[in-house]
Amino acid sequence: MIETDYLLIGQGISGSVLAHQLRAMGKRVLVMESPTPASCSRVAAGVYNPISFRRMNNTWRAEEIGPFAIDFYNQQEQQYKIAFHDNIPIHKVLADASERRIWETTVSERPALFAEAAIRENPFPEQIAAPHGLGVVTAAGRIDAAAFIQQTREILVRDNQFLEEVFEVERMMLSDDFVLYDRRIRAQYIISCTGMGVLEEGYFSFVPFIPVRGQVLTLDIPNFKTDVILSRGIYLVPLADGKFLCGSNYDRDVNNEALSDAAQTEILDKLKKFLTTPFSIVSERAGVRPTTRDRRPVLGCHPHHPRLVIFNGMGSKGAMLAPWCGQQLVNHLEQQAPLDREIDIKRFLK
């Protein structure tokens, strides 16, 4: 019989973050992941942006959540001597003179906004169309999600804390004091970090998750190099190998990972509004992430099964939200600290 404190189902960004946080507290952790894992986290661009361009304000709790995420990823890199995190600014391509004026006015009126007041003039006139300049977002960056997940897996495998197998809900036995899985694993808690997984469709079906498919392209842009993330409706993210990630689109209520010609066209139409140099598509990928109508994560214990826990609903901001939310969940389970009402699963109980 394998004895563990926490059995985590799913090892995407959320599951990887939570595993590190629990391990840091000295907890016994076992992570179970399918041999063919869902690709949501693995195809994620991994960008964290503390500003909503649509509303020109900081995103939800960005002042607290953003620095927490940066510190967390820096600590993981230092502790395990791994590399997956870049603090790089986002340069917003301003569409017209009106958008430039709005940027300048808003930044001057909101000193707490994670943005520079001065507009940058376009340093790439031969490759980027930005006659109205670039607005700079600070405290932004990117994690290489695939590298973070893979490096975390190697650490877990090394410490005998990883199982590569399909989780089958019918093999789970719940009690008020522990969880038994397949009569061979006994855990104090089982935590679902699976996105649109079997527990979300079963035990947690009362949570109104909305599947959103996102598609990203990998591009080769031979005559262009930059060390910043560019944004105008989509992100153009430089990679270590000289290529670029471009995306994502958002197909609401689509719960499959099939590539879409319409999504590719949507991404390329937006890209061509500011990229003027030739490029080619190297590859493309799609993944489905769960979100909710209020666009807040979903954390906490099942109302009737206190040992069954959910850690989900990060949406497109998983890289930024997961560290702060993970710590909230750990504090809740280990220290009985109350969860913030906006992320507590109890908000869906009638």
Structural domain contains residue 203: yes
Over the stretch 25-51, which tens digit does the pLDDT of each residue have?
Answer: 999 999 999 887 655 665 678 999 999
Residue 193 three-state SS: coil
Mean pLDDT for the stretch of residues 176-196: 95
Distance of CA 179 to the CA centre of its chain: 28
Predicted local confidence at residue 254, as pLDDT: 83
Final residue before a domain boundary, out of 245, 275, 291: 291
Cα–Cα distance measured from residue 324 to residue 25, given in angstroms and rounded to the nearest whole number: 15
Q: What is the mean pLDDT of the chain?
A: 94
CB 76 within 8 A of CB 115: no
Mean pLDDT for the stretch of residues 258-285: 96
CB atoms within 10 A of CB 176: 7
Structural domain contains residue 230: yes
Structural domain contains residue 337: yes
Final residue before a domain boundary, out of 266, 291, 316: 291
- All residues at 6 or more sequence positions from 26 whose CB lies less than 8 Å from its CB, including other chains: none
Select the more confidently predicted residue: 249 or 278. Answer: 278
* 170 lies in the same domain as 198: yes
Cα–Cα distance measured from residue 174 to residue 187, given in angstroms and rounded to the nearest whole number: 10
**Domain range for 204:** 2-43+146-208+294-348
Mean pLDDT for the stretch of residues 319-328: 97
Question: How crowded is the C-beta side of 240, counted as CA atoms within 13 Å?
Answer: 8
Predicted local confidence at residue 322, as pLDDT: 97
CB 228 within 8 A of CB 331: no
Structural domain contains residue 74: no
CB atoms within 10 A of CB 157: 13
Distance of CA 145 to the CA centre of its chain: 8
* 286 lies in the same domain as 151: no
CB 308 within 8 A of CB 190: yes
Mean pLDDT for the stretch of residues 185-212: 89
- The enclosing domain of 154 has a CATH number of 3.50.50.60
* 300 lies in the same domain as 287: no
Which residue carries 């930024």 as its tokens? Answer: 320
CB 41 within 8 A of CB 12: yes
Over the stretch 298-312, which tens digit does the pLDDT of each residue have?
Answer: 999 999 999 999 999
Structural domain contains residue 70: no
Mean pLDDT for the stretch of residues 201-225: 92
Q: In terms of Cα–Cα distance, which of 286, 320, 304 is closest to 52?
A: 320
Final residue before a domain boundary, out of 248, 276, 291: 291
Over the stretch 70-79, which tens digit does the pLDDT of each residue have?
Answer: 999 999 999 9
pTM summary value: 0.94
**Beta strands at 47-48 and 141-143: parallel, antiparallel or unpaired:** antiparallel
- The enclosing domain of 132 has a CATH number of 3.30.9.10
Domain count of the chain? 2
Environment class of 208 (CB within 10 Å of its CB; exposed 0-12, middle 13-18, buried 19+): exposed
Structural domain contains residue 199: yes
Predicted local confidence at residue 36, as pLDDT: 73
pLDDT range class, residue 199, cuts 50, 70, 90: low
Amino acid type, 348:
F
* 226 lies in the same domain as 284: yes
* C-alpha to C-alpha distances, 60 to 54, 121, 193, 207, nearest whole angstrom: 13, 29, 22, 21
| Secondary-structure breakdown of the chain: helix, strand, coil percentages, each rounded to the nearest 5 | 30, 30, 45
- pLDDT of 106 > 70? The answer is yes
